[in-house]
């Protein structure tokens, strides 16, 4: 795989993260904003060993260990299965619940298959363009929702712990950041840090709008952001549903492409061929066979282990080896 | 290469969906009406239509299917400007229309019998409602606000009725009309946007801006209204203050008597960590005119 620029690394991590934020399952209260900020702080701490490995240029070591490659690939397959299930349950009504939804789902999967076979470099290039689409969508969302904002609805009571745990469970891109950092130039760590902060900013914006502009309609809804998009119509003569739908589909494709691409990249190290379609097929199978809640819990538990635990162990082992040699 | 490109382009065009739908095949509704307790009476009126069509159905999906068969095209509710309710159908049906059928969240809700009201072009009602809100004669009410109030602890929403009256409609269909003074008070407690003039006993007052601050202190709602007038002398300001104060107090009194919250008390209570539901808290209104 060729090198990817820092902006590409930032985009390729932020877009799947933004998709997870779109699919925030519920609102728990104003304290959720503080919880998300705390969750971001923990994620930054989890990234410290990865940053240390990247700084010393030893991060490639872990890819030589086939079992580690398989472990990370398995996580990405599980995360992909979780994302596919989420796509099915959280999709706006126009996409997968209306007549013709089977066609939409099949087309979406075919698109994911096509983009994943193009490789991570091509995906990274597209990600920068998609960042613009995400920006325009957010501007429309804010413009449409702003006049509904009622600041008195915002209180810091309740929702801190749920907000923190939800935010941590949405960090499936963190293990991918480690894999991608190997292909980034100098300053890759800064791009990962910027991604973490931008994702937090996006999460805070979404939560703020859902709580203050959506009122009771969003607080009682599953996937509150999709309820907010129904309410946030910035133009009098034109509905904005199609833009929100486009953003949802593009971010979803980017999420699946990143996961399939990274899984394929890791499985190639073990000598397996046709890894991209195989990864997508495995994700589909697991999404169909495994219980939704079980996969969500398992992946949420694996994120801190793979994002922070494993790199920390490698860092410590390398430190011990160095001291023994000395 | 050309042999591959042509079928691919054709396939892409067919997948856009543009080939299968035309604007003429769609009916854009301007107003819809809901009535009927057991059997739903669903009335729709398209833009620039003088009359409305009513169908009788078991539910929304059934009603829309019948309406489409009568209208001869797909019905699009996304630009609807007026929703007319007589109280027999409230939150459940409206919620379904908003989230399942894409009804416009900003459409105005009017308490009236749809069968009678929608016999004429509804454009004038829509414009009248908008202008009344802008001129401070009606409080801001739109579909998402009304639905939010029905989903609140006291399950009652504030709706405009015909002849600029205001009604408190409970989600079970029972309603209470507000007096003229209380209705005027609601306009101060739920302000819209824009500046307007009004006549008081001491002359005409030009209201440049209206600012409302709401807090909850010691279990009591504190509502402070600040009016900025233009070229008003002391006597006019005093008269205006007394009038607004009296109107707001009448609005709060009648609202509490009806067991309703349409001024955002529940949000204040939740922010203050109070349990919502049950008896409504006391509300104190203060007015400043500058």
Q: pLDDT tens digits, residue range A252-265?
A: 889 988 899 889 88
Cβ-Cβ pairs closer than 8 A, A with B, add up to 51
Whether residue B100 lies within 8 A of chain A, CB to CB, comes out as yes
Mean pLDDT of the B169-183 span: 89
Higher-pLDDT residue of B59 and B24 is: B59
pLDDT of residue A98: 57
CATH annotation of B180-289:
3.30.300.210
Between chains, do B152 and A153 touch, taking CB under 8 Å as contact? no
Between chains, do B152 and A216 touch, taking CB under 8 Å as contact? yes
Higher-pLDDT residue of A113 and A165 is: A165
Contacts of A216 in chain B (CB under 8 A): 148, 151-152
pLDDT of residue B140: 79
Question: Structurally, what CATH architecture does the domain formed by B25-160 represent?
Answer: 2-Layer Sandwich (3.30)
For B279, phi then psi, to 5°, come to -75, 140
Contacts of B214 in chain A (CB under 8 A): 152
pLDDT at B274 over 60: yes
Taking the CA of residue A115 and the nearest CA in chain B, the distance in Å comes to: 17
Taking the CA of residue B82 and the nearest CA in chain A, the distance in Å comes to: 14
Distance CA B114, CA B36 (A): 10
Give me the percent of chain B exceeding a pLDDT of 70.
89
Would you place residue B141 in the very low, low, confident or very high pLDDT band (cuts 50, 70, 90)? confident
pLDDT of residue B5: 64
pLDDT of residue A68: 87
Between chains, do B151 and A154 touch, taking CB under 8 Å as contact? no
pLDDT at B13 over 70: no
Distance CA A103, CA A97 (A): 11
Distance CA A79, CA A259 (A): 8
Within 10 Å of residue B245's Cβ, how many Cβ atoms?
A: 17
* Domain spanning A6-321, CATH class: mainly alpha
In contact, B95 and B64? CB cutoff 8 Å: no
Which among A155, A227, A239 has CB closest to B78? A239
pLDDT of residue A191: 92
pTM of the model: 0.85
In contact, B169 and B111? CB cutoff 8 Å: yes
Which residues, other chains included, contact B106 with Cβ-Cβ below 8 Å and sequence gap of 6+? A233, B142, B143, B144
Burial class (CB in 10 A: 0-12, 13-18, 19+), A102: exposed
Distance CA A279, CA B161 (A): 60
ipTM of the modeled complex = 0.78
Q: How far is CA A32 from CA A161, A163, A304, B163, in A?
A: 8, 4, 20, 45
pLDDT of residue B271: 80
Of B248, B33, B243, nearest to B139 by C-alpha is B248
Residue A264: strand, helix, or coil = helix
pLDDT at A97 over 70: no
For A151, phi then psi, to 5°, come to -65, -25
Mean pLDDT of the B94-103 span: 86
Would you place residue A30 in the very low, low, confident or very high pLDDT band (cuts 50, 70, 90)? confident
Mean pLDDT of the A65-82 span: 90
pLDDT at A60 over 80: no
Which residue from A minimizes the CA distance to B107? A236
The interaxial angle of helices B91-99 and B143-150, nearest 10 deg, is: 130
Distance CA B177, CA A283 (A): 59
Which residues, other chains included, contact B36 with Cβ-Cβ below 8 Å and sequence gap of 6+? B56, B88, B89
Query: Chain-wide mean pLDDT for chain B?
Result: 83
Mean pLDDT of the B43-58 span: 84
In contact, A214 and A228? CB cutoff 8 Å: yes
pLDDT of residue A210: 92
Which residue from A minimizes the CA distance to B78? A239
Distance CA B131, CA B193 (A): 11
Mean pLDDT of the A190-213 span: 93
Most confident option among A8-12, A50-54, B59-63, B206-210:
A8-12
Whether residue B59 lies within 8 A of chain A, CB to CB, comes out as no
CA atoms within 13 A on the CB side of B84: 27
pLDDT at B163 over 80: no
Q: Cα angle at B56 between A239 and B170, to 5 degrees?
A: 70
Whether residue B26 lies within 8 A of chain A, CB to CB, comes out as no
CA atoms within 13 A on the CB side of B232: 26
Of A295, A319, A316, nearest to A85 by C-alpha is A295
pLDDT at B7 over 70: no
Distance CA A212, CA A209 (A): 5
Where are the domains positioned within chain A? 6-321
Where are the domains positioned within chain B? 25-160, 180-289
Would you place residue A143 in the very low, low, confident or very high pLDDT band (cuts 50, 70, 90)? very high
């Amino acid at each position: 795989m060729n090198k990817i620029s820092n902006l590409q690394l930032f985009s390729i991590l932020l877009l799947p993260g933004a998709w997870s934020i779109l699919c925030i399952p519920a609102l728990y209260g104003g304290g959720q904003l503080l919880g998300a900020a705390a969750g971001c702080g923990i994620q930054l701490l989890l990234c410290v060993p990865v940053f240390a490995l990247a700084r010393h240029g030893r991060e490639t070591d872990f890819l030589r260990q086939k079992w580690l490659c398989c472990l990370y690939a398995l996580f990405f397959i599980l995360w992909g299965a979780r994302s596919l299930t989420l796509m099915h349950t959280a999709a706006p009504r126009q996409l997968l619940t209306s007549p013709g939804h089977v066609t939409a789902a099949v087309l979406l999967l075919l698109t994911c298959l096509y983009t994943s076979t193009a490789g991570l470099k091509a995906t990274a290039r597209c990600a920068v363009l998609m960042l613009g689409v995400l920006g325009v969508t957010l501007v429309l969302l804010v413009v449409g929702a702003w006049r509904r904002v009622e600041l008195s609805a915002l209180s810091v009571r309740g929702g801190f712990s749920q907000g923190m745990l939800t935010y941590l469970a949405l960090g499936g891109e963190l293990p991918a950041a480690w894999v991608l950092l190997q292909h980034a130039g100098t300053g890759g760590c800064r791009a990962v840090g910027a991604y973490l902060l931008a994702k937090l900013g996006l999460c805070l914006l979404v939560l703020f709008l859902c709580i203050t502009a959506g009122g009771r309609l969003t607080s009682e809804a599953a996937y509150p952001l999709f309820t907010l998009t129904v309410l946030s119509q910035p133009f009098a003569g034109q509905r904005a549903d199609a833009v929100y739908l486009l953003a949802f589909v593009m971010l979803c494709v980017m999420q699946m492409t990143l996961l399939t691409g990274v899984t394929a990249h890791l499985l190639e190290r073990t000598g397996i061929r046709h890894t991209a379609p195989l990864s997508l097929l495995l994700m589909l199978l697991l999404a169909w066979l495994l219980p939704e809640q079980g996969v969500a819990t398992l992946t949420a538990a694996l994120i801190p282990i793979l994002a922070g635990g494993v790199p920390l162990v490698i860092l410590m082992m390398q430190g011990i080896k160095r001291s023994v040699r000395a | 290469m050309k042999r591959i490109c042509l079928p691919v382009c054709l396939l892409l065009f067919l997948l856009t969906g543009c080939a299968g739908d035309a604007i003429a095949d769609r009916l854009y509704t301007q107003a819809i009406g809901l009535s009927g307790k057991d059997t739903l009476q669903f009335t729709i009126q398209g833009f620039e239509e003088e009359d409305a069509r009513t169908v009788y159905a078991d539910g929304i999906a059934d009603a829309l299917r019948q309406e489409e068969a009568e209208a001869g095209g797909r019905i699009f509710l996304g630009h609807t400007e007026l929703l007319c309710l007589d109280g027999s159908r409230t939150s459940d049906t409206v919620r379904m229309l908003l989230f399942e059928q894409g009804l416009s969240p900003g459409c105005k809700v009017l308490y009236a019998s749809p069968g009678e009201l929608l016999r004429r072009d509804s454009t004038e009602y829509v414009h009248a409602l908008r202008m009344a809100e802008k001129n401070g004669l009606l409080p801001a009410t739109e579909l998402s606000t009304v639905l939010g109030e029905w989903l609140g602890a006291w399950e009652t929403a504030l709706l405009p009725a015909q002849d600029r009256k205001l009604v408190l409609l409970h989600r079970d269909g029972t309603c209470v009309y507000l007096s003229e003074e209380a209705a005027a008070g609601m306009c101060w407690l739920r302000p819209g946007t824009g500046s307007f003039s009004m006549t008081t006993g001491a002359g005409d007052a030009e209201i440049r801006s209206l600012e409302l601050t709401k807090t909850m202190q010691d279990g009591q709602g504190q509502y402070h209204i600040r009016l900025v007038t233009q070229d008003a002398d002391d006597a006019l300001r005093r008269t205006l203050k007394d009038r607004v104060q009296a109107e707001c107090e009448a609005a709060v009194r009648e609202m509490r008597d009806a067991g309703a919250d349409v001024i955002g008390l529940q949000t204040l209570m939740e922010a203050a960590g109070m349990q919502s539901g049950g008896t409504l808290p006391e509300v104190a209104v203060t007015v400043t005119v500058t």
